[in-house]
Amino acid sequence: MERTFLMIKPDGVQRGLIGKVIQRFEEKGLQLVAAKLVQITMAQAAAHYEEHRDKPFFGELLEYITSGPSFAMIWAGEEIIQVTRAINGKTNPVEAAPGTIRGDYALRKGVNVIHGSDCLESAEKEIANFFTHEELACFLYPADPKEGMTT
Ligand code: GDP
Ligand code: MG
Q: Is CATH 3.30.70.141 the classification given to domain 3-137?
A: yes
Confidence label for 151 from pLDDT (cuts 50, 70 and 90): confident
Name the residue of 4, 57, 82, 119 to mutate for ligand 1: max ligand atoms within 8 A of Cβ: 57
Confidence label for 139 from pLDDT (cuts 50, 70 and 90): low
Centre of ligand 1 from the C-alpha of residue 86, in Å: 16
Flag whether pLDDT at 48 surpasses 70. yes
> How far is it between the farthest Cα atoms of the chain?
60
Q: Supply the pLDDT for residue 140.
A: 52
- Asked whether 119 and 5 are in contact (CB, 8 A), the reply is no
The per-residue pLDDT for range 14-31, each reduced to its tens digit, is 999 999 999 999 999 999
Backbone angles phi, psi at 83, to 5 degrees: -65, -45
Q: Rounded to whole angstroms, how far apart are CA atoms 108 and 111?
A: 5
- The ipTM (two decimal places) reads 0.98
Say how many residues make up the chain. Answer: 151
DSSP 97: P
Give the start-to-end residue ranges of the domains of the chain.
3-137
Percent of the chain's residues with pLDDT above 70: 92
Across the chain, mean pLDDT equals 94
pTM for the predicted model, two decimal places: 0.92
DSSP element (H, E) containing 3: strand 3-8
Backbone angles phi, psi at 58, to 5 degrees: -55, -45
Percent of the chain's residues with pLDDT above 90: 87
Catalytic (active site) residue 133: no
